[in-house]
Amino acid sequence: MNKILVTGASGQVGVELAQALRDKYGAGNVIATGYNSRPASEVAQNYPYCRLDVRDAPALNQIVEHYQCDTIFHLASLLSVVAETKPLEAWDINMNGLINVLETARTHNCAVFFPSSIGAFGPETPSFNTPQDTIQRPKSLYGITKVSGELLCDYYFHHYGVDTRGLRYPGLISNKALPGGGTTDYAVDIFYAAVKNRHYDCFLRADTQLDMMYMPDAVTAAITLMEVDSAKLKHRNAFNITAMSFTPEQLTAEIQKYLSDFTVSYRIDPVRQAIADSWPRHMDDSAARAEWGWEAKYDMATMVKDMLEQITVKLNKKLR
């Protein structure tokens, strides 16, 4: 990787991944792009930044050509809850955005990172120790675009030799940019509510167990996968990875170790609950461990400690 393009660079993953790439590969070598002309975060100050709608293939080509990019981290997409409210737009952004990236990569000889998700699984998938290769019949539009994306990335590798690689992320917990409308967002929102109000109204049932990961591990995973010798990869795209697996009730108990007066009530959102109920509770990530040495640093306890510290500072509050 020498010149790296990041789509969706103002998003929850993009902000931190772009910063990590900049630290490692040099600020001038990471071209951040996003749908907004003026990103709210520090992205625009620290990096070359271009406004890009990923559905605009000529604009994407122009940026790749101008900066002579050799790698694309394609993060731009609509998340699960937003996708259910505007399915046609989600299909357009998630699928046409990806095919534009893959075509640009094919014609300009770029490697591509594509994040899939636990959303690529469905109710018929085994939910415990979800195998790397298993039944995938997602019921959400988001999940359908993720499975299709996994298959398209495989297709571009097998037919054109494009160096596509990817992961199935679990719910991602972070403290820089907020997630943009996903089913697992409760695991981020809960920290802001705990620090600000000592109370949170949770939209998932107390016993809804889902795979999760802290953002520093998610960023390391993406970079490590793109750096590894490609001869080691058997799966290439859509590696299961996980770091922890918990319910809202268990997360609440961990937060209460620091904020004993924190309370949670449950106001279930049927749409998000149905999506969550169809996703894995714990994925088997042994293929990622064996093929490229995946290992998470953060578990629930260390993630909660760090999240509370960071958000307390961010909101200028006190923990006790």
**Residues in the site for ligand SER, rule: CB under 6 A?**
79-80, 117-119, 142, 169, 171-172, 182-184
For residue 75, the minimal CB distance to ligand SER (Å) is 12
Residue 160 is a catalytic residue: no
Pairwise CA distance, residues 296 & 191, whole Å: 21
Q: Count CA within 13 A, CB hemisphere, residue 201.
A: 3
Sequence-ordered strand ranges (E) for the chain: 4-7, 30-34, 49-51, 71-74, 111-117, 128-130, 164-169, 171-173, 199-202, 210-214, 239-240, 244-246, 263-266, 282-283
Give whole-number Cα distances, 45 to 27, 31, 48, in Å. Answer: 11, 12, 8
For residue 172, the minimal CB distance to ligand SER (Å) is 6
CB 50 within 8 A of CB 69: no
Question: What's the burial of 159, exposed, middle or buried (CB within 10 Å: 0-12/13-18/19+)?
Answer: exposed
Pairwise CA distance, residues 2 & 184, whole Å: 33
Quick one: 11 or 34, whose CB is closer to ligand SER? 11
Quick one: 183 or 278, whose CB is closer to ligand SER? 183
What's the token pair of residue 179?
A: 């997630």
Helix (H, G, I), strand (E, B) or coil at 165: strand
Which residues, including other chains, have CB under 8 Å from residue 219's CB and lie 6 or more apart? 13, 16, 17, 20
For residue 171, the minimal CB distance to ligand SER (Å) is 5
Quick one: 29 or 174, whose CB is closer to ligand SER? 174
For residue 95, the minimal CB distance to ligand SER (Å) is 16
For residue 260, the minimal CB distance to ligand SER (Å) is 29
Catalytic residue among 35, 47, 67, 142: 142
Closest of 12, 40, 274 to residue 169, by C-alpha: 12
For residue 169, the minimal CB distance to ligand SER (Å) is 6
CB 112 within 8 A of CB 161: no
Quick one: 104 or 140, whose CB is closer to ligand SER? 140
Helix (H) or strand (E) holding 151: helix 141-160
Residue nearest to ligand SER (CB): 182
Quick one: 169 or 262, whose CB is closer to ligand SER? 169
Quick one: 46 or 273, whose CB is closer to ligand SER? 273
Neighbours of 105 (CB within 10 A): 26
CB 168 within 8 A of CB 240: yes
What is the set of active-site residues?
142
